[in-house]
Amino acid sequence: MHRTGELYGQFETLEQQKESAALGMWVFLSTEVLFFGGLFLTYTLNRHYYPAAFGVGSNTLDLKLGGLNTVILILSSLTMAMSVWASSVGKRKQTTGFLVATLLLGTAFLGVKVIEYKQKFDHHLVPGYHFQIDYRVQHPAPNDDPKEIEAEKEELSKAFAKDPDLNAHAQLYFSLYFGMTGLHALHMIVGAGMLVWLIRQSMLGRFTPTYNTPVEMIGLYWHFVDIVWIYLFPLLYLIDRHR
Amino acid sequence: MSEHIVSPKVYIGIFLSLMVLTAATVAAAYVNLGPFNIVIALAIASLKATLVVLYFMHARYSPKRTHMVIIAAVFWLAIMLALTLSDYVTRDRDLASNTQLTGMLGS
Amino acid sequence: MDTPTSTHSATAPVYKIPEEHYLNSSYGIRSWLLTTDHKRIALLYLFSVTFFFFVGGIFATMIRIHLMTPQGFLVTPETYNKLFTMHGVAMIFFFLIPSIPAVLGNFLVPLMIGAKDLAFPKINLLSWYIYVLGGCFVLYSFSTGGLDTGWTFYTPLSSVYSNSAVTPAVLGIFINGFSSILTGLNFVVTVHTMRAPGMTWFRLPLFVWAQYATSIIFILGTPVIAITLLLVGLERMFHLGFFNPALGGDPILFQHLFWFYSHPAVYIMILPAMGVISEIIPTFARKPIFGYSFIAGSSIAIAVIGFFVWAHHMFLTGESVYAALAFSFLSYLVAIPSAVKVFNWTSTLYKGSISWDTPMLYGLGFIGLFLIGGLTGLFLACLGLDIHIHDTYFVVAHFHYIMVGGAVMGYLGGIHFWWPKISGRLYPEFLARVSAIILFMGFNLTFFPQFILGYLGMPRRYHSYPPEFQVLNVMSTAGASILALGYLLPMIYLIWSLKYGTVAGPNPWPATGLEWKTDSPPPTENFLVTPEVTWEPYDFETRPDLELDHIVAGKLPAPAHGDD
């Protein structure tokens, strides 16, 4: 078994090994672009044909939590980039520190997502037999703000007038919501797993200015996952805020 | 990957720009610009993505072949979207009218 | 390796199998299942794809037997739907798409560029395991209710109404997709970063160019089918509505997403075969290939333009004339680089010193059958004509001409061409030539009648047909039995040759690639010394090191000529 940092047998030089790793990661990321791309295509078509349903669906999302998550994730990209920098100038403790920060921020992101998903579950907004777009206004919880409920009721009645099949179409929105954010979250979990490995390697002193390839490569992956969210946030949360 | 080491100052600068752009996209969402809402949203998102790719992902300091990979990915995504939409846009009946379900489902 | 005992072509030299090579360097099942040697992984794939070829072949046999009578006597209509579906799924996803890239590509690409292995050997092994896992899911689907949606999985039949085992099948193909993606990724990085000193892009063998172009398609197309089939599985499991009109969804969206990959997939199937032919033709015409850079460029062109034409599978779904025209035009455009290749191969033959070895028979067969298959593709791309022949046996004949007459013949030609390198032994030449001819004749008898059937109006995927079509159907089935013989014979004699075949020596043909400059079978690290390349590809005339090989093989290079 090769330890991180050694030259693998199929390569002639460390430089070749590094080049290959970098090209390999970028090519892999391009496959991810097309992978998510199919969902973005589906989103584009469905949003175009069902604007009322997408507007209503989007407004059920908690913008504060979504905005917070956006800040958290972009901050985690910063800390990830900083860990790459730290490893390239040989600062071992800072490398580990920034990696830990990235992991904590990523975990916080996932925690917020759990809260959001729970909210959707409570409001019967998970696609399936129990899906009902107007469940919340028909069964408001005791701590719901009555003004908010009223506003949502009005919004829903306007939307139903524009689109009698609002419930079915809103279900499509939520299928995409869960599908796209779910796939994104899955990628984050994989990223978190890789960060755990990176932190351990960093603590063992495996990264030096001449060899910090794993940090860079996993960094690339992490930034890509951030970019997916950069698109998901406006497309899912900001469709119809100007009601 | 290049040996070019990007200074933390650059990273922090990019981070702050990304924060400003996030605020901008949220603010723009509250203004009714009709069809331009989506255009602005995508433009800001693309600007943010570009900053992340160029600086956080070091694309600015990467060899040409990295640029080719990035351009290829974006280009292929673009043709998937554009050519598919070219079919939808030129069809006689649109999806919504094709699948009108009023009364078909209980909800 | 012994030096030849005689320099006269009348007495063949006696070679010995090298003492240590990749096959005997380590023993035991673990050394195979945990190998990272690209050559062993290629053989693992050879074993698996051959297995799925049998699976698909059994379904094909049942289809052809069933179609011998107009009412169909073998199976019920529902089972018939399952037969053609499972035939398609097994053959396309688990045989044709991996065949040449994962078997010949894995084995040869590092050898051809002078590297010790691919860039990511462990990922290479992972690719194989992912393939096997995907295959297990699909076999599970086949054996627990089968699959009746057609390999094209059109919705809402596949996502809602089918009662067959769709979910495990789409999951299996989804998983298998990652095997393709990782193989493509490996090849692209390898060709960019692992070439030996002096091996510039334009000295690469055309087989490597073909693999590179195929890898582009693997990388950019496969993720889309992956997400699409995942969505179908999720729709089935959670009653989502993307592709279901009853819930506001759109079956046409499925078709766009599906064909965005599945059309370039057919180029995945044919480009590597074209790469094989580009290696075989110059070798057995003893001449440099005509128009090297055009063949290289046309591979890339096919890979790229192939992504712009997918909606020609959807001409009859209500596409507007404008969209249909655009896709039809682009489909004609993509035929041009293919034609360039056919012209260049033919020009290579001109004034060449032709020898009729088995790989050459497969190569020539490829050119003829690909020509027919490719031209009939243009018939189908013609809007007015497609209205009549879409979804008929004309389409079936067209794609079988390309996939069997083209891709499979390329695969078999490649297996025979590189068999000496892979196994260290020569296959029995006379029997191999006879098999190639049997295969060629069986193939044409099977599929040419289907062009006529389609033109006369027999629809595809139908379990029964009007009685006036019976004669042609019986001809087709008869041809299929001959075709089957043509497949079985190589399997038998190739295995036989492992023990009893003549030892081949490093370069029995002789051919010009780097892979022929190392032992047969090669050592695990491919080359004892990293080669340095100073010659142009397919240089049969001036390479001094080939002279001895020519004499030994009893073959002469083509006479010098100045006009190409």
Q: What is the pLDDT of residue B104?
A: 46
Q: Which regions in chain B score pLDDT beneath 70?
A: 1-3, 94-107
Q: What percent of chain A has pLDDT over 70?
A: 98
Q: What is the pLDDT of residue C1?
A: 40
Q: What is the pLDDT of residue C540?
A: 81
Minimal Cβ distance to C117: which of A10, A45, A129: A10
CB A37 within 8 A of CB A28: no
Domain contains A175 = yes
Q: Do A172 and C248 touch (CB under 8 A)?
A: yes
Question: Which tens digit of pLDDT belongs to each residue from C224-243?
Answer: 999 999 999 999 999 888 99
* Nearest CA among C270, C287, C278, C435 for reference residue C349: C287
Which residues of chain B does A220 touch, with a Cβ-Cβ cutoff of 8 Å?
57
Q: What is the pLDDT of residue A5?
A: 66
Is residue C39 pLDDT above 50, yes or no? Answer: yes
Q: CA distances (Å), C475 to each of C36, C44, C66, C450, C453, in order?
A: 47, 37, 13, 9, 11
Residue C35 DSSP code: -
Q: Do B83 and C250 touch (CB under 8 A)?
A: no
Q: Do B48 and A230 touch (CB under 8 A)?
A: yes
Minimal Cβ distance to B79: which of C307, C322, C326: C307
Cβ count near C237 (within 10 Å): 11
Q: Do C219 and A169 touch (CB under 8 A)?
A: no
Q: Do A89 and B70 touch (CB under 8 A)?
A: no
Q: Do C307 and B76 touch (CB under 8 A)?
A: yes
- Nearest Cα of chain B lies from the Cα of A179 at a distance, in angstroms, of 19
Q: The pTM is what?
A: 0.93
Residue B35 DSSP code: T
Is residue C7 pLDDT above 90, yes or no? Answer: no
How large is the average pLDDT for residues C250-261?
Answer: 96
- Nearest Cα of chain A lies from the Cα of C181 at a distance, in angstroms, of 8
Q: Do C193 and A129 touch (CB under 8 A)?
A: no
Residue C524 DSSP code: T
A124 shares contact with chain B (CB less than 8 Å)? no
ipTM of this complex prediction, to 2 decimal places: 0.93
Which chains are adjacent to chain A, needing at least 3 Cβ pairs under 8 Å? B, C
Is residue C561 pLDDT above 70, yes or no? Answer: no
Cβ count near C428 (within 10 Å): 18
Q: What is the pLDDT of residue C13?
A: 63
Residue of A1, A14, A15, A34 for testing the chain C interface, max C β-carbons within 10 Å:
A34
Q: What is the pLDDT of residue C557?
A: 58
**Exposed (0-12), middle (13-18) or buried (19+): which is A6, by Cβ within 10 Å?**
exposed
Q: What is the pLDDT of residue C290?
A: 94
* Nearest CA among C302, C124, C281 for reference residue C210: C302
CB < 8 Å from B in window 151-180 of A: 164-165, 167-168
How large is the average pLDDT for residues A155-181?
Answer: 92
Q: What percent of chain C has pLDDT over 90?
A: 84
Least confident of A159-168, B47-56, C4-13, C117-126: C4-13
Residue of chain C whose Cα is closest to the Cα of B92: C320
Residue of A16, A48, A175 for testing the chain C interface, max C β-carbons within 10 Å:
A175
Cα first-last separation, chain A: 60
CA atoms within 13 A on the CB side of A34: 34
- Backbone phi and psi for residue C17, each to the nearest 5 degrees, phi listed first: -65, 130
Question: Which tens digit of pLDDT belongs to each residue from C416-430?
Answer: 999 999 999 999 999
pLDDT band for position A3 (cuts 50, 70, 90): low
C226 shares contact with chain A (CB less than 8 Å)? yes
Question: How many residues comprise chain C?
Answer: 564
Give the domain CATH number at A143: 1.20.120.80
Is residue C188 pLDDT above 90, yes or no? Answer: yes
Q: Do B90 and C318 touch (CB under 8 A)?
A: no
How large is the average pLDDT for residues C465-474?
Answer: 96
- Nearest Cα of chain C lies from the Cα of A143 at a distance, in angstroms, of 31
Number of cross-chain residue pairs from A and B with Cβ atoms under 8 Å apart: 139
Per-position DSSP letters for A137-204, written without gaps between them: HHS--TTS-HHHHHHHHHHHHHHHHH-TTHHHHHHHHHHHHHHHHHHHHHHHHHHHHHHHHHHHHHHT
Q: What is the pLDDT of residue A243?
A: 67
Question: Which tens digit of pLDDT belongs to each residue from C141-172?
Answer: 999 989 999 999 999 999 999 999 999 999 99
How large is the average pLDDT for residues C48-75?
Answer: 95
Which residues, at least 6 apart from C91, have a Cβ–Cβ distance to it below 8 Å?
C52, C53, C56, C60, C403
Which residues of chain A does B85 touch, with a Cβ-Cβ cutoff of 8 Å?
44-45
Q: What is the pLDDT of residue B106?
A: 37
Which residues of chain C does A44 touch, with a Cβ-Cβ cutoff of 8 Å?
none
Domain boundaries, chain B: 8-89
Q: Do B81 and A50 touch (CB under 8 A)?
A: no
Q: A116-130, A196-210, C431-445 — which one is most confidently predicted on average? A: C431-445
Number of folded domains that form chain A: 1
Parent domain of A147? 49-237
Q: What is the pLDDT of residue C4?
A: 43
Residue A2 DSSP code: P
Beta bridge partners of A208: A211
Domain C35-553 -> CATH class: mainly alpha
Q: Do B98 and C224 touch (CB under 8 A)?
A: no
Number of cross-chain residue pairs from A and C with Cβ atoms under 8 Å apart: 106
Q: Do B90 and C322 touch (CB under 8 A)?
A: yes
* Nearest CA among C284, C291, C277 for reference residue C344: C291
Is residue C6 pLDDT above 70, yes or no? Answer: no
> In terms of DSSP H, where are the helices of chain A?
14-49, 51-59, 63-88, 92-122, 135-138, 146-162, 166-203, 213-232
A241 shares contact with chain B (CB less than 8 Å)? yes
Which residues of chain B does A41 touch, with a Cβ-Cβ cutoff of 8 Å?
80-81, 84
pLDDT band for position C72 (cuts 50, 70, 90): confident
B93 shares contact with chain A (CB less than 8 Å)? no
How large is the average pLDDT for residues C185-212?
Answer: 96
